[in-house]
């Protein structure tokens, strides 16, 4: 497929060499961090302004050419793959921090700003942006997928940290949602609707984010447990006790092995918790002590405190590298990723059942998770060329999702729907999935925006 | 107007004497806490189950009769008034707490449960529901208006504390939104869309709410300031310093006078802050000391600590009674209420400008607010029979809203749109208001649900 002649001419006039139909550019935008694959888009554009995005969308909508937004390409579910061809909008050139307002603890940015670039920019303000999915994702992409990560247990997800958006609709209209005030009751919460809509309702061209004060004191530690159940039960008890954990991450024995081999760690091959405390010196001491007592009840051992910023950076870099470390456990493998999230009381049973199913099916499938939210992942290592094996891994993943739904949980805690979870949407939402489809049809009547994703196919 | 014969028969068969066309019942559901007035609905129904709500909505939708949900009747903006006639659904009989899950810190309830009844029910669990608008509102109504109140600065608004909903759509379909997990990225955030939709997109028939642990220690105090500016600047500085205030409320000198006259208080006739701290004993002491130091910098005096639960209850009962206390400053008066919310850095200027405009126009217009969120109200006391005066008060209110919008704030921080704020919606949202209308049309094509509210009128 290629762009219709008329559209190509309009876009060329608008963008010049910021429109590419070259194979390398197109192929680059067909890449995916996970095993999802799709043909490349017909073309790639690098807009620089909201007005350009508006003109592009209006032009594509007129002739029915799909438009897919692309941030940093770190999606794990193939969100930004052009499954029906069309034009990929790469936001790499809309990466400016527009305004930091330290007194309001907010910042306005363009969607191509990455998480790390934003925090670099904020360094001198005493503030930071909290949502931390590990990958150096773009903030536009993080909003579009309602990302979260290790600190969500304390500071919330993108749902909680996006105050306002500028969005371009399918027909090119530009709207603003939300305000810079801390709260508002002025009608439908369009901000929350666009956060997590995965580029299917509109394209985000500006975000206003909530910031947090850098904690006065930070302490982090890793500790080991004799078995998975005791580690996870320790998490449930800790959360239920109300200790305001800044991070509480679980990694299983296989992940510890992967860290040792891939990241040069020297952890016992046991399940671990990785924890962090934020607050005043007194509060951090109090919280760490209370956690230590609970952990001791579950037989925690080998407490290793990361006392310097460098030690902590190393600890969390290791945690954030878990996906790639785990892939190294089976050279050449791809990962079928699960991402369920369950109510806290159901967490120990859910992790236990997942581990049993993985073992019973003979997979290497390390389990890691933001367990303070009840969210965990297994990385089922598969030979991407072995269709039968991939299918079997997907069955394990499907059963995990089914069990999550059976106890009131969700098929995706943070990765989003993309290609990987769409087949599970009817099971999770029932008739509400049709409601999502009705909203999509109302806002994007020609199905221009990231078609083939999230909502039911049109009749 | 009266119900069409066919519809009346269907509803009678379904509800028996839980359908009323009597004048007293209809008039009761034409009441409003504020000066908004509308004719009574044609009939009132008291459903007892979701299935009944579904059958009622399907029947009304078929013949184009409006349906308006009614909780406790405490709306301040006339949300539940039947401006186009139709059937009011009173949720007074759907008031059961369905399931408390202490380990998950969640509860599922029917929409007619009131805030106070819920907390009464939770008393033995060590948990509480945090959102506290003052009035003993129904939780269904609080969700529908995205209510907040005194503790939102610490625990969030209804946006943050509703995890999942059961909703009946205009055509009678029953859907479930959200899950019982702490977070989810599984598609559009329909929960957030229905929270704050004021009964225009669907009728809430069940809510799953987030609970919080009762704080180990609570301390509360009231203190006075020489002038309004210094009190409000103290709030901005306190919030910016990161002290995790559980409550920080402003009342002006006129409100202090009203408390003295109406609630038997003996406060100096000066602006006051009313504050509360929650946490471990050490943290509460630390926070209270830090606040005390900041307040001293702004000349705070007459610190009065409420040390017993009874003292605290008296303090917050007084605060919650501010609206009625202020009405007593002018016997026979009604209140034209403002509800703006601005970014924290803009709060001192916004309160100052409001006070000046009120004074310049000769109104008694006490100012109170949940200032930790940047949210405050003025209660402009008017003779409801004096149209010119009401119009002049509305102009003052309109200018306040305009100033809020000019600095990135909102026309309503917590009261919602209802009748009172609808005329301001285009100014706040621009083209995004049309998007709200498109969503409404997609979900309620016959405009059955609370018509004439929130979204633009249909062409």
- Tens digits of residue pLDDT in A377-410: 999 999 999 999 999 999 999 999 999 999 999 9
In chain B the domains, ranked by start, together with CATH numbers, are: 5-92 (3.30.43.10), 94-213 (3.30.465.10), 215-325 (3.30.70.2190), 330-445 (3.30.70.2740)
> Between residues 261 and 290 of chain B, which touch chain A (CB distance below 8 Å)?
280, 282-283, 286
Instruction: Report which of A219, A37, A211 is spatially closest to residue A130, judged by C-alpha positions.
Output: A211
Q: CA quadruple A13, A14, A18, A20: dihedral positive or negative?
A: negative
**Of the candidates A152, A242, A439, which has its C-beta nearest B442's C-beta?**
A439
CB B206 within 8 A of CB B50: yes
Query: Does B229 lie at the interface with A, CB-CB under 8 angstroms?
Result: no
Does the beta-carbon distance from A196 to B187 stay under 8 Å? Answer: yes
Chain A residue with Cα closest to B409: A181
Strands (E) in B87-157, as ranges, are 87-90, 97-101, 106-109, 127-128
pLDDT at A32 > cutoff 90: no
The 10s digit of each residue's pLDDT in B263-305 is: 889 999 999 999 999 988 888 998 999 999 999 999 999 999 9
- Interface test mutation site (partner A, options B128, B183, B199, max chain A beta carbons within 10 A): B183
d(Cα A69, Cα A198) in Å, to the nearest integer? 9
Widest Cα–Cα separation across chain B: 70
Question: Which whole-number Å values give the CA distances from A36 to A30, A63, A82, A83, B408, in the listed order?
Answer: 10, 28, 11, 11, 41
CB B368 within 8 A of CB B377: yes
What is the DSSP secondary structure assignment for residue A339, as one 8-state letter?
B
pLDDT at B331 > cutoff 90: yes
What is the DSSP secondary structure assignment for residue B321, as one 8-state letter?
T
Cα distance between the two ends of chain B: 23
Does the beta-carbon distance from A192 to B159 stay under 8 Å? Answer: yes
Compute the average pLDDT of residues B333-355.
95
Does the beta-carbon distance from A344 to B182 stay under 8 Å? Answer: yes
The 10s digit of each residue's pLDDT in A321-351 is: 999 999 999 999 999 999 999 999 999 999 9
Compute the average pLDDT of residues A214-241.
94
**Long-range pairs of B90-99 with CB within 8 A, sequence gap ≥ 24:** B90/B29, B90/B44, B90/B45, B90/B46, B91/B47, B91/B138, B91/B140, B92/B46, B93/B18, B93/B46, B93/B47, B93/B48, B94/B47, B94/B48, B94/B49, B94/B205, B95/B138, B97/B121, B98/B206
Query: Does A54 lie at the interface with B, CB-CB under 8 angstroms?
Result: no
A-B contacts (CB, under 8 Å): 265
Question: Is residue A419 classed exposed, middle or buried when 0-12, 13-18 and 19+ CB atoms within 10 A define those classes?
Answer: buried
Joined together, the tokens standing for residue B136 give: 């003993």
Query: Does A450 lie at the interface with B, CB-CB under 8 angstroms?
Result: no
CB B234 within 8 A of CB B351: no
pLDDT at B34 > cutoff 80: no
CB A112 within 8 A of CB A74: no
Place of tokens 């992409």: A141
pLDDT at A242 > cutoff 90: no
Compute the average pLDDT of residues B179-193.
98
CB B86 within 8 A of CB B42: yes
Contacts of A236 in chain B (CB under 8 A): 103
Contacts of A428 in chain B (CB under 8 A): 179, 186-187
Give the helix/strand (H/E) hosting A435.
helix A431-443
Q: Checking DSSP bridges between strand B19-20 and strand A106-109, what pairing results, if any?
A: unpaired
> Between residues 391 and 430 of chain A, which touch chain B (CB distance below 8 Å)?
404, 408-417, 421, 424-425, 428-430
CB contact set of A24 (below 8 Å; sequence gap of 6+): none
Place of tokens 């500085």: B237
pLDDT at A193 > cutoff 90: yes
**Of the candidates B201, B213, B432, which has its C-beta nearest A177's C-beta?**
B432
**Of the candidates A185, A193, A410, which has its C-beta nearest B146's C-beta?**
A185
List A11's β-bridge partners, or say none.
none
Give the pLDDT of residue B281: 87
Instruction: Report which of B91, B103, B69, B92 is spatially closest to residue B450, judged by C-alpha positions.
Output: B69
Compute the average pLDDT of residues B123-127.
94
d(Cα A8, Cα A134) in Å, to the nearest integer? 37
CA angle centred on B142, ends B94 and B40, rounded to 5°: 70
**Helix, strand, coil percentages, rounded to 5, for chain B:** 40, 20, 40
**Of the candidates B148, B344, B432, which has its C-beta nearest A176's C-beta?**
B432
CB A232 within 8 A of CB A371: yes
Q: Above pLDDT 90, what percent of chain A?
A: 93
CA angle centred on A186, ends A178 and A169, rounded to 5°: 45
Give the pLDDT of residue B263: 83
pLDDT at B35 > cutoff 90: no
- Interface test mutation site (partner B, options A54, A174, A188, max chain B beta carbons within 10 A): A188
Burial annotation B234-255 (CB, 10 A radius, 16+ → b, else e):
bbbbbbbebbebbbbbbbbbbb
Among the listed ranges B1-5, B364-368, B443-447, which one has the minimum average pLDDT value?
B1-5
Please tell me whether residue B243 adopts helix, strand or coil conformation.
Answer: coil
A296 pLDDT band, cuts 50/70/90, is: very high
The 10s digit of each residue's pLDDT in B57-92 is: 999 999 999 999 999 999 999 999 999 999 999 999
The 10s digit of each residue's pLDDT in A78-129 is: 999 999 999 999 999 999 999 999 999 999 999 999 999 999 999 999 999 9
Among the listed ranges A33-42, A244-253, A340-349, which one has the minimum average pLDDT value?
A33-42
d(Cα B128, Cα B278) in Å, to the nearest integer? 13
Instruction: Report which of B155, B212, B175, B340 is spatially closest to residue A160, judged by C-alpha positions.
Output: B155
CB contact set of A285 (below 8 Å; sequence gap of 6+): none
Burial annotation B281-303 (CB, 10 A radius, 16+ → b, else e):
eebbebbbebbeebbeebebeee
Compute the average pLDDT of residues A43-52.
98
Give the helix/strand (H/E) hosting A273.
strand A272-279
Joined together, the tokens standing for residue B81 give: 């008034």
Does the beta-carbon distance from B185 to A432 stay under 8 Å? Answer: no
Query: Does A190 lie at the interface with B, CB-CB under 8 angstroms?
Result: yes
**Of the candidates B177, B193, B442, which has its C-beta nearest A442's C-beta?**
B442
Give the pLDDT of residue A246: 96
What are the backbone angles phi and psi of residue A105, rounded to the nearest 5°?
A: 55, 50
Query: Does A459 lie at the interface with B, CB-CB under 8 angstroms?
Result: no
CB B421 within 8 A of CB B427: no
d(Cα A360, Cα A355) in Å, to the nearest integer? 9
Query: Does A185 lie at the interface with B, CB-CB under 8 angstroms?
Result: yes
Q: DSSP letters of B203-262?
A: EEEEEEEE-EEPPSEEEEEEEE-SSHHHHHHHHHHHHHTT---SEEEEE-HHHHHHHHHH
**pLDDT, averaged across chain A:** 95
Joined together, the tokens standing for residue A193 give: 């609707």
């Amino acid at each position: 497929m290629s762009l219709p002649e008329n559209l190509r001419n309009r876009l060329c006039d608008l963008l010049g060499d910021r429109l590419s139909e070259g194979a390398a550019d197109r192929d680059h935008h067909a890449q995916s961090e996970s095993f999802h694959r799709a043909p490349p888009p017909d073309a790639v554009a690098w807009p620089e302004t909201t007005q350009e995005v508006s003109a592009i969308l209006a032009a594509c909508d007129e002739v029915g050419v799909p438009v897919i937004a692309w941030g940093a390409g770190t999606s794990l579910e193939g969100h930004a793959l052009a499954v029906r061809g069309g034009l990929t909008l790469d936001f790499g050139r809309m990466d400016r921090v527009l305004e930091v307002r330290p007194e309001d603890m907010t910042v306005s940015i363009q969607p191509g700003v990455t998480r790390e670039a934003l925090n670099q920019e904020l360094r001198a303000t005493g503030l930071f942006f909290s949502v931390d999915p590990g990958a150096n994702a773009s903030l536009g992409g993080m909003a579009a997928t309602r990302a979260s990560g290790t600190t969500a247990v304390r500071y919330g997800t993108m749902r909680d940290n996006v105050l306002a958006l500028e969005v371009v609709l399918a027909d090119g209209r530009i709207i603003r949602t939300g305000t810079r005030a801390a709260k508002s009751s002025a009608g439908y919460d369009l901000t929350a609707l666009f956060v997590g809509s995965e580029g299917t309702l509109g394209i985000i061209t500006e975000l206003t984010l909530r910031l947090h004060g850098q904690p006065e004191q930070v302490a982090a530690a890793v500790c080991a447990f004799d078995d998975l159940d005791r580690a996870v039960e320790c998490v449930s008890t800790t959360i239920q006790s109300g200790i305001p954990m800044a991070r509480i991450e679980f990694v299983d024995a296989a992940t510890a092995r992967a860290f040792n081999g891939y990241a040069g760690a020297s952890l016992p091959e046991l399940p671990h918790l990785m924890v962090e405390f934020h607050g005043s010196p007194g509060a951090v001491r109090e919280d760490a002590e209370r956690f230590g007592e609970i952990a001791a009840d579950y037989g925690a051992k080998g407490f290793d405190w990361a006392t310097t910023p460098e030690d902590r950076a190393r600890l969390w870099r290791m945690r954030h590298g878990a996906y790639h470390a785990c892939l190294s456990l089976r050279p050449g493998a791809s990962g079928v990723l699960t991402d369920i999230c369950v109510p806290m009381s159901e967490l120990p049973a859910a992790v236990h059942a997942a581990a049993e199913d993985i073992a019973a099916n003979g997979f290497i499938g390390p389990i890691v998770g933001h367990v303070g939210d009840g969210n965990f992942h297994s990385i089922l290592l598969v030979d991407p060329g072995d269709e039968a094996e991939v299918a079997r891994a997907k069955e394990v993943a499907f059963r995990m999702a089914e069990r999550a739904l059976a106890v009131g949980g969700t098929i995706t805690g943070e990765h989003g729907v993309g290609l990987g979870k769409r087949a599970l949407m009817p099971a999770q939402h029932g008739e509400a999935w049709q409601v999502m489809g009705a909203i999509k049809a109302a806002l994007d009547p020609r199905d221009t925006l990231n078609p083939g994703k999230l909502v039911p196919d049109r009749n």
